[in-house]
Amino acid sequence: MTAFEVNGRKVDLEVDPRESLLAVLQDRLHLYGTKKGCDHGQCGACTVHLDGRRVVSCLTLASQVEGREVRTIEGVAGEDGTLHPLQRAFIDNDAMQCGYCTPGQIMSGLACIAEGHTGDDDEIREYMSGNLCRCGAYVGIVAAIRQVAGPAEA
Amino acid sequence: MRSFTYTAPTSVADAVAAIASAGPQARFFAGGTTLFDLMKLGVERPSALVDVSRLGELEVIDTSGDDHLVFGASARMADVAADPVVLRDYPVLAESLWRAASQQLRNMATVAGNLLQRTRCPYFRDELYPCNKRRPGSGCAARDGIDRGSAVLGTGDACSAAFAGDWPVALLALDAVVDVVGPRGERTVTLADLHVEPGDTPDREHSLAPDELIVRIRVPVTPAGRGSTYLKIRDRESYAFALASAAVAVTLTGGGVVEECRIALGGVATRPWRAYAAERAVTGRPLSAETARAAGEAALAGARPGNLNAFKIELGERTVAEALRIAVERAGR
Ligand SMILES: Cc1cc2nc3c(=O)[nH]c(=O)nc-3n(C[C@H](O)[C@H](O)[C@H](O)COP(=O)(O)OP(=O)(O)OC[C@H]3O[C@@H](n4cnc5c(N)ncnc54)[C@H](O)[C@@H]3O)c2cc1C
């Protein structure tokens, strides 16, 4: 059995060693917010936080999360449904079109802000480059992260 | 995907014992960003995985020593890139890490796994094509195919796939070594001896035995670290593999003459590539646009292009020249 926490909830599952964390989140825990894009670590749509750090869940073995904490997009808004300021900022700045990459963008953006990689917009772009957006909402995504991170350093 | 067993030993000794008892098709597993990716493609088919990503003793980063910087094998790329001493005194190391992959991948990927990453040649990654590296003797699809990304240095008749990594190129320039533990004891391998050219056996990429565990990487402390850079040229500004890259580290005399110079190349060669002739072309004189250009030409001398990658020769030359300019400017500060 593999025991870990997802968004503060304890889970304990029999996993196949071949299963990715992404597959377990979607197929076993029915948390469909985390998206499968390329399934090869190239697009960032499946980004989640593992012990507080952003990782791609498609290349994380489910067996590897034994004893650890996973946070997905479902764990970002308040209990009462109040949006997180970064979710709000994505809406304010029109930071999506089709929305498929958005959960990964938000999980990555939260980490980007927490890491302090928001000194200027170039730094945001560099540290968000692992999240592709085929609609091309990049300008809005950078603006949303900037809104929550506060003004650029002079 | 072929089924496999998964174990997560809690000590180096247990990890080595586990790999030995699991047989020749067992593999160490760290961040998984190469191995799990290739298992999904059917390119890697291990029978057992021995997870070394959470062995505390392998995660140590110690940059306080007088002789060596020490990076535990399972230290994450992101953590080494953020080490204050690495950032301040060894820009070539920091840049080779933060200019690689994405922050998500760097949080997962380990500095030892990075050394043993496999090529990104699209034919190697696709079971539908022949590939001498993936299936020895089957042929090379890149030879008559899209070989734009292939190497021009260290190529062979069987394979010209480019080595994809950045950090190993920076480590090679700084004369790093890796300490390895196996069932037959411990040994040290220089970066120069770690990777091998394809020759007739492109499936063999390095000199470690399958049951040997890298436990740490050591980089000799050097003042050349401050005068260094890792310049990476790619199709897009971020999150792409190198078309050409250069790791350069120099020291200058008071009069601005290049006293010591190390140059290694990525993106253009089948393994991390040290360019000794280029180093000699600039050592003992002040750097000018001409000497930088001459060093670039020396670095790429002997290059053998395929169909679509001849552009890498001039690109490589210019990358070396520009990296030299940046390194010398930093050394002079
Ligand atoms: C989308 C994408 C983009 C990327 N871009 C770049 C880039 O720009 N530049 C770059 O350099 N890299 C890039 N990479 C490659 C990435 O950096 C490597 O996959 C990673 O560093 C491998 O480390 P890992 O810990 O994940 O290794 P794993 O995948 O776990 O292992 C890789 C290999 O190393 C072996 N191994 C691992 N640890 C040890 C050990 N301690 N001793 C002995 N053997 C060991 C494994 O058996 C396996 O054969 C990219 C990867 C992806 C998926």
Q: Which DSSP state fits A58?
A: G
> Distance (Å, rounded) from C-alpha B266 to C-alpha B153?
10
| CA distance, residue B263 to nearest chain A CA (Å) | 26
- pLDDT score recorded for residue A91: 98
Record the tokens describing residue A40, joined without a space: 């090869």
> Distance (Å, rounded) from C-alpha B30 to C-alpha B205?
18
For residue A80, being part of any structural domain is answered with no
Mean pLDDT of A70-87: 97
Q: Residues B243-298: pLDDT tens digits?
A: 999 999 999 998 999 999 999 999 999 999 999 999 999 999 999 999 999 999 99
Mean pLDDT of A87-113: 98
**How high is the mean pLDDT of chain B?**
97
- pLDDT score recorded for residue A24: 98
> Distance (Å, rounded) from C-alpha B95 to C-alpha B89?
12
Residues A10 and A70 in one domain: yes
Residues A64 and A89 in one domain: no
Sorted by sequence, the CB contacts under 8 Å of residue B254 that are 6+ apart come out as: none
Residues A33 and A63 in one domain: yes
Contact B169, B266 (CB under 8 A): yes
B247-280 core/surface letters (b: 16 or more CB in 10 A; e: else): bbbbbbeeeeebbbbbbbbbbbbbbbbbbeebbe
CA of A42 to the centre of ligand 1 (A): 14
Tell me which residue of A55, A57, A4 sits closest to A26, measured CA to CA. A57
Residues A32 and A92 in one domain: no
CA of B111 to the centre of ligand 1 (A): 8
Is the pLDDT at B186 greater than 90, yes or no? yes
Tell me which residue of B1, B298, B67, B19 sits closest to B180, measured CA to CA. B19
**How high is the mean pLDDT of chain A?**
97
Correct CATH for B225-331 of 3.90.180.10, 3.30.390.50, 3.40.50.970, 2.60.40.10: 3.30.390.50
Which residues of A fall below an 8 Å CB-CB distance to B?
17-18, 20, 39-41, 44, 47, 50, 53-56, 59-61, 63-64, 66, 108, 111-112, 115, 117, 125-127, 129-131
Residues A12 and A67 in one domain: yes
For residue A79, being part of any structural domain is answered with no
**Ligand 1 pocket member B30 (CB < 6 A):** yes
* Among candidate residues A74, A98, A116, the one where a domain is terminated: A74
Domain ranges of chain B: 56-116+163-220, 225-331
Residues A9 and A62 in one domain: yes
CB atoms within 10 A of CB B221: 16
Mean pLDDT of B232-252: 97
CATH of domain B56-116+163-220: 3.30.465.10
CATH number at residue A90: 1.10.150.120
Query: CA B11, B64, A123, B169 torsion: positive or negative?
Result: negative
Percent of chain A residues topping a pLDDT of 70: 100
Check: complex ipTM more than 0.95: yes
| CA distance, residue B11 to nearest chain A CA (Å) | 16
Residues A18 and A59 in one domain: yes
Residues A68 and A22 in one domain: yes
Look at ligand 1, atom 53, and give the residue with the nearest C-alpha: A41
Contact B260, B154 (CB under 8 A): no
Residues A66 and A113 in one domain: no
Is the pLDDT at A153 greater than 90, yes or no? no
- pLDDT score recorded for residue A154: 74
For residue A154, being part of any structural domain is answered with no
Is the pLDDT at A1 greater than 90, yes or no? no
CA of B108 to the centre of ligand 1 (A): 9
Residues A62 and A120 in one domain: no
B141 strand-pairing partners: none
Q: Residues A20-65: pLDDT tens digits?
A: 999 999 999 999 999 999 999 999 999 999 999 999 999 999 999 9
Long-range contacts made by residues B283-286, C-beta under 8 angstroms, separation at least 24? B283/B258, B283/B259, B284/B257, B284/B258, B284/B259, B285/B257, B285/B258, B286/B255, B286/B256, B286/B257, B286/B258
Look at ligand 1, atom 26, and give the residue with the nearest C-alpha: B31
CB contact under 8 A, A54 and B40: no
Residues A15 and A46 in one domain: yes
> Distance (Å, rounded) from C-alpha A34 to C-alpha A30?
10
Domains contained in chain A, number? 2
Contact A33, A74 (CB under 8 A): yes
Domain that holds residue A107: 85-149
Percent of chain B residues topping a pLDDT of 70: 100
Residues A17 and A56 in one domain: yes
